């Protein structure tokens, strides 16, 4: 988590930013979660079962600077939904 926190910081993530996270119950979730906390970034953790409508609602409310998601989730299997989110919350 220290290495990920350092990488995120080098890419501009700062304390007070928000991140929308949708990962399954795997070790990567905890690495991401602790890395974000170390930076002071507020993670909003969506359930892995959430779909477009829930994720869009979260994004509209929190205006995340970062999205961390699993490509194995059907919503993120390609870039269509990511492009929609980018347009909604640049």
What CATH number is attached to the domain comprising 80? 3.40.50.980
Reduced to 3 states (helix: H, G, I; strand: E, B; else coil), residue 76 is: helix
pLDDT > 90? residue 90? no
89 compared with 56, residue with greater pLDDT: 56
- With a pLDDT cut of 90, the percent of the chain lying above it is 80
| CA nearest to 5, candidates 42, 46, 38, 47 | 38
- Our count of domains for the chain comes to 1
- Print the domain residue range for 14: 2-88
Q: Is the pLDDT of residue 31 over 90?
A: yes
**Cβ-defined contacts of 77-83 (< 8 Å, 24+):** 81/52, 81/55
Q: Please report the pLDDT score of residue 88 as a whole number.
A: 86
pLDDT of residue 20: 95
4, 30 Cβ separation under 8 angstroms? no
- Extended strands (E) in the chain: 18-22, 42-45, 66-69
DSSP-assigned beta bridge partners for residue 64: none
């Amino acid at each position: 988590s220290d290495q990920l926190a350092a990488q995120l910081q080098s890419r501009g993530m700062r304390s007070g930013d928000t991140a929308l996270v949708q990962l399954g119950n795997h070790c990567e979730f905890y690495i991401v979660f602790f890395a974000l906390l170390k930076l002071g970034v507020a993670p909003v953790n969506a359930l892995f079962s959430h779909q477009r409508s829930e994720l869009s609602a979260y994004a509209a409310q929190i205006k995340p600077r970062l999205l961390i998601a699993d490509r194995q989730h059907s919503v993120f299997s390609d870039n269509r939904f990511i492009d929609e989110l980018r347009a909604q919350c640049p």
